[in-house]
A and B are shown apart, each in its own frame.
Chain A
Amino acid sequence: MRYWHDHGRKRWGPPGSRLLAVLTGVWLVLVGVRGVAAIPLAFRLKPGSTYAFEVTSRLSSEFSVFENRHQMSTAATGTISIKVLGARQGVFIIDLWEGENHTRRFLKPDGSVAGAPGEEATRLPFFWTLPAGDWQPGQKHRVTKGLANGRETIPAAWDLTLREFDAASGRARIEVAGTVALPANKQVQRSIEAKGTIFFNVREGCFDQGEWTLTYQLAYANKEIAVQRDLWKVQETRVVGFRLKGVTND
């Protein structure tokens, strides 16, 4: 075997081969990671199946005036069953039942709602959507929407970041962060923020678990010329979670 001497040290291969080997290795790692971790996420519901979810919510609200504070909280748990009626032109037709409450939605594979005949369009929640194509870990996917608020429209955004994908369980962990750009001035300062984690199950073709916390703050003051006086403060927290209990084919 040939070897070269370089300043008394022994090394294998011709000069520059070590750098080449390192570059090749890095390239192979990058390509390999991309090939393994990059995943396309999309809703793939099974027509005829019924998905049962447990939805929980814990609400806490505090109103304070000067040194007086009053706090109230409540919690509720409900079960929602979703019957997938069919899939037409790439859109899933689902029936949602929560006790006797019923509504119907047309769900696109990216998670957006194409139609909700039983609900007022302006009162529909701001839904997450999944990015088209492969989603790299650490990559942020932003969804924006203008929320109707009286006569004005408030811009809101969901930021979804894929943190990891567990190939064994087929679940992708996604971090969500929501912001609502509420207008504020010196007299009225308010903010809405959301933060949490959700899981997308590739095998079931839907989100199967999630929990996020919504925080709302309002500080109301009076201002007259140069005098400003604080009056009321409101702080509310909503913790919302859901979990897929099971899928049946009855």
Chain B
Amino acid sequence: MTEYRSPEPGRFPHGHGSDFRNGGQGRPTPGRAIHRATGAHLWPERRTQRWLHPGNGLRLAPIPVILAILVLLPVRLAAQAADGIHTPFSIWLMNNESRVLGQLAADRRLLDAMSMGNGMLLAPRPPWPKPENRFWRMHLKFFAYLTEANEVYRLARQFGSGDLAKVISSVHPGEWATLGCRGFPTLRAREIAPFLNDVCGKAYLAVLGLDQSRDRDLAGRLDRATRKLTDTERRLLNNYFGNFLALYPTNRTTRRLHAFLQTGLSKQFVQGVASLLMAKPAGGADDSGGLLADLASTADEAASTTVDPALLGPDAVPADLGTDTGTGGGGQGTASEAPEAGGPQIDIFNVLGPDGETGTGTP
């Protein structure tokens, strides 16, 4: 007959009934039955208890670290994405402002306390002059200027290569959207498609945070922001940069910002962003365009259909596009705007060729 007994204290100093949390000093684990003859447990330890064994600690150690990295890394990346190259410098300046503001406020209270020693009288309370406010206003201009410079830098870096302009030039959302209506002339699909192309193009630029009138000339935008500062303010900002870079010489972000402000934008980046803003979704003779042309050639509608002026009128387009969408043909940019960098605009549905009548109104 099998006998059961409680484990003897100290018999199994490490595990086997002893509690390692007590240093293996023989304190038995409650509820564990041990065979009297062999000293073995009659049922295995639960898995969780084995995990808690001190010998397994090293294997489990990386888990919290990995979890922390998985949690904190996206947060840090998101924070970095929200910051700009002006962030370290701006924060440094704002922190210094805050410290001095607090210091001055506290010290002026002490000055007030020493301003009237006669208990019979009240301390004078004229409006206290604060010459530092002039510099805080200057700093506000610096912050606005640096934010603008950061935005220009971001746009130039993100879109200055011109790759996105090529992509936009090769897509034809209007044609794709009206593809199913090609067989029905009354639906005027070919007239609507350019509008859709334009709407989609502008909406995409708006989502990207690009404004045609503002960002068409990034160098001019940066120049306009710089001209808002006087020579004195520019020198002061330069001195601040000198201080910051002397204190934090390894801060490459601010060094890059400082160099950017001194040298300005290169022409290549400016042209890259300008080409993006001038890109027309309906242009470009790429593969998708060829596919659409093949599909369109099977349509019954004649390619020489003229554009209905009613569709080109201001009332026919969304209000946020402005009146210029109705002029210049099919809601595209006006002739006064900069030349398009997306290459020659080809009407992919004009199966009669360039000598035939234009049906899309694309300039």
- A pairs with B: yes
Chain A interfacial positions (CB closer than 8 Å to B): 43, 51, 53, 55-57, 59-63, 65-66, 68, 70-76, 78, 80, 82, 94, 96, 98, 101, 103, 105, 107, 111-113, 123-128, 147, 149-150, 154, 156, 158, 176, 178, 180, 182, 188, 190, 192, 194, 198, 206-207, 210, 212, 214, 216, 218, 220, 222-224, 227, 229, 231-232, 234, 236, 238, 240, 242
Determine the chain A residues whose CB is within 8 A of the CB of B116 once the complex forms.
125, 127, 240
Question: Which of B107, B131, B248 lies in contact with A192, CB distance below 8 A?
Answer: B107
Contact in complex: A78, B120 (CB < 8 Å): no
Determine the chain A residues whose CB is within 8 A of the CB of B120 once the complex forms.
43, 51, 53, 82, 94, 96, 105, 107, 206-207
Q: Count B interface residues, CB 8 Å.
A: 39
Chain B interfacial positions (CB closer than 8 Å to A): 96, 99-100, 103-104, 106-107, 109-124, 126-132, 134-135, 232, 236, 239, 243, 246-248
Determine the chain B residues whose CB is within 8 A of the CB of A180 once the complex forms.
110, 114
For the complex, give the distance between the alpha carbons of A78 and B127 in Å.
13
Residue of B nearest to A228 (CB): B247
Closest CB in chain A relative to B112 CB, distance in Å: 7
Contact in complex: B114, A192 (CB < 8 Å): yes
Closest CB in chain B relative to A240 CB, distance in Å: 5
Closest CB in chain A relative to B334 CB, distance in Å: 47
Question: Which of A125, A147, A188 lies in contact with B103, CB distance below 8 A?
Answer: A188
Contact in complex: B114, A156 (CB < 8 Å): yes
For the complex, give the distance between the alpha carbons of A107 and B100 in Å.
37
Determine the chain A residues whose CB is within 8 A of the CB of B126 once the complex forms.
57, 59, 74-76
Question: Which of A65, A112, A113, A192 lies in contact with B236, CB distance below 8 A?
Answer: A65
4 tightest Cβ-Cβ pairs between the two chains A and B: A72-B129, A76-B126, A57-B124, A128-B117
Determine the chain B residues whose CB is within 8 A of the CB of A229 once the complex forms.
243, 246-247
Knowing A147-B113, A156-B114, the reply to whether A190 touches B131 (Cβ < 8 A) is no
For the complex, give the distance between the alpha carbons of A105 and B116 in Å.
14
Determine the chain A residues whose CB is within 8 A of the CB of B121 once the complex forms.
53, 55, 80, 82, 96, 242
Question: Which of B103, B122, B246 lies in contact with A96, CB distance below 8 A?
Answer: B122
Residue of B nearest to A66 (CB): B239
Contact in complex: B128, A125 (CB < 8 Å): no
Determine the chain B residues whose CB is within 8 A of the CB of A56 once the complex forms.
124
Determine the chain B residues whose CB is within 8 A of the CB of A194 once the complex forms.
114
Question: Which of A98, A206, A218 lies in contact with B107, CB distance below 8 A?
Answer: A218
What are 19 sample pairs from A and B whose C-beta atoms fall under 8 A apart? A43-B120, A55-B122, A57-B124, A65-B135, A70-B131, A70-B134, A72-B129, A82-B121, A123-B109, A126-B113, A126-B117, A127-B116, A128-B118, A128-B119, A154-B110, A188-B103, A192-B107, A214-B111, A220-B100
Determine the chain A residues whose CB is within 8 A of the CB of B131 once the complex forms.
61-63, 70-72
Determine the chain B residues whose CB is within 8 A of the CB of A192 once the complex forms.
107, 110-111, 114
Contact in complex: A111, B100 (CB < 8 Å): no
Question: Which of A60, A61, A147 lies in contact with B110, CB distance below 8 A?
Answer: A147
Determine the chain A residues whose CB is within 8 A of the CB of B104 once the complex forms.
218, 234
For the complex, give the distance between the alpha carbons of A192 and B104 in Å.
12
For the complex, give the distance between the alpha carbons of A42 and B118 in Å.
13
Main secondary structure of the interface of A (DSSP, over half): strand
Contact in complex: A222, B243 (CB < 8 Å): yes
Contact in complex: A59, B103 (CB < 8 Å): no
Determine the chain B residues whose CB is within 8 A of the CB of A111 once the complex forms.
118-119
Contact in complex: B96, A76 (CB < 8 Å): no
Which one of A56, A68, A94, A182 has the greatest number of beta carbons of chain B within 10 Å? A68
Determine the chain B residues whose CB is within 8 A of the CB of A182 once the complex forms.
107, 110
Determine the chain B residues whose CB is within 8 A of the CB of A82 once the complex forms.
120-121
Contact in complex: A156, B110 (CB < 8 Å): yes
For the complex, give the distance between the alpha carbons of A43 and B129 in Å.
35
Residue of B nearest to A114 (CB): B119
Question: Which of B122, B129, B134, B236 lies in contact with A66, CB distance below 8 A?
Answer: B236
For the complex, give the distance between the alpha carbons of A149 and B124 in Å.
20
For the complex, give the distance between the alpha carbons of A111 and B121 in Å.
11
Determine the chain A residues whose CB is within 8 A of the CB of B129 once the complex forms.
59-61, 72-74
Contact in complex: B110, A158 (CB < 8 Å): no
Determine the chain B residues whose CB is within 8 A of the CB of A43 once the complex forms.
120
Residue of A nearest to B105 (CB): A150
Determine the chain B residues whose CB is within 8 A of the CB of A62 once the complex forms.
131
Contact in complex: A220, B103 (CB < 8 Å): yes
Contact in complex: A63, B118 (CB < 8 Å): no
11 new A-B pairs (CB below 8 Å) besides A62-B131, A70-B132, A218-B103?
Answer: A59-B128, A63-B135, A65-B135, A65-B239, A76-B126, A82-B121, A125-B116, A149-B110, A154-B110, A180-B110, A229-B246
Residue of B nearest to A230 (CB): B243
Contact in complex: A222, B96 (CB < 8 Å): yes
Question: Which of B96, B112, B124, B127 lies in contact with A55, CB distance below 8 A?
Answer: B124
Knowing A66-B239, A74-B127, A125-B115, the reply to whether A150 touches B106 (Cβ < 8 A) is yes
Which one of A76, A105, A236 has the greatest number of beta carbons of chain B within 10 Å? A236
Contact in complex: B113, A156 (CB < 8 Å): yes
Closest CB in chain B relative to A238 CB, distance in Å: 6
Knowing A59-B128, A98-B122, A192-B111, the reply to whether A231 touches B96 (Cβ < 8 A) is yes
For the complex, give the distance between the alpha carbons of A178 and B195 in Å.
79
Knowing A59-B128, A66-B239, A149-B106, the reply to whether A125 touches B114 (Cβ < 8 A) is yes
